[in-house]
């Protein structure tokens, strides 16, 4: 992977289309391999990697379909997945039924309760007002992490949101990323555990900022 090219392309990301979805899923699955929250709720056997990939594939195709915006470098390697606030909330029953096999494939029977507890904790804390953009996932392939690629994607998105006077919201399970998001104007609104045995998570909010040269 040409990490420098990836960083340059992240400064002017492209909008992913349906034909890019497989590559986006691969990038996100690699990005979150070893993530402590995913380690907590994913199955612990040899099918973990396949379960994680299927998790992202079906979330993006079923839940995110026709709703999400995906910013990515032209040649892939990273992705920022955004949802409008009105797309967030309880999943319709028909979608829950479609997702049930994926959830079991990702968690196994012994850990399905962990993922459901996480889902409930996230839904209960997500603000219903005011209208905002939701950073659903931000991932960079492991070999390119720590090179400012995620920051580039965030910077572009925040400029777009500021132009639209739109606030933003996210959750993160990585304490190191709290400082990253703060540099882009997000502030912590809560710290919580989905269950007593789960890793901590942080919710963060960003108010839209005036564009340079405007009052």
Paired with 193 in beta bridges are 200
What gap in Å lies between CA 117 and CA 164, rounded to an integer?
Answer: 34
CB 180 within 8 A of CB 39: no
Residue corresponding to tokens 């990005």: 31
pLDDT at 99 (0 to 100):
85
Q: Which CATH architecture has domain 3-206?
A: 3-Layer(aba) Sandwich (3.40)
75 half-sphere exposure, CB direction, 13 A CA radius? 10
Burial environment of residue 100 by CB neighbours within 10 A (0 to 12, 13 to 18, 19 or more):
exposed
pTM for this predicted structure: 0.93
Q: What's the mean pLDDT when you consider all of the chain? A: 93
Paired with 191 in beta bridges are 202
pLDDT per position as a tens digit, 130-156: 999 999 999 999 999 999 999 999 999
For residue 40, give both structure tokens.
């907590």
Q: Is the pLDDT of residue 188 over 90?
A: yes
CB 105 within 8 A of CB 51: yes
| Total residues found in the chain within this entry | 215
Domain ranges in the chain are 3-206
């Amino acid at each position: 992977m040409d990490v420098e090219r990836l960083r340059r392309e992240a400064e002017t990301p492209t909008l992913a289309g349906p034909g890019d979805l497989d590559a986006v899923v691969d990038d996100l699955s690699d990005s979150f391999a070893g993530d402590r929250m995913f380690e907590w709720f994913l199955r612990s056997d040899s099918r973990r990697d396949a379960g994680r990939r299927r998790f992202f594939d079906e979330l993006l195709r079923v839940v995110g379909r026709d709703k999400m915006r995906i910013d990515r470098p032209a040649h892939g390697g990273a992705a920022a997945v955004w949802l409008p606030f009105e797309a967030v909330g309880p999943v319709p029953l028909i979608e829950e039924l479609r997702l049930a096999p994926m959830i079991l494939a990702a968690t196994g029977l012994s850990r399905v309760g962990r993922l459901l507890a996480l889902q409930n904790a996230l839904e209960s804390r997500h603000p219903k007002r005011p209208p905002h953009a939701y950073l659903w996932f931000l991932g960079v392939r492991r070999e390119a992490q720590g090179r400012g690629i995620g920051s580039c994607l965030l910077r572009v998105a925040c400029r777009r949101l500021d132009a639209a006077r739109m606030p933003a919201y996210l959750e993160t399970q990585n304490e190191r990323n709290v400082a990253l998001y703060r540099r882009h104007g997000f502030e912590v609104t809560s710290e919580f555990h989905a269950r007593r045995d789960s890793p901590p998570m942080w919710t963060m909010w960003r108010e839209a900022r005036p564009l340079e040269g405007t009052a």
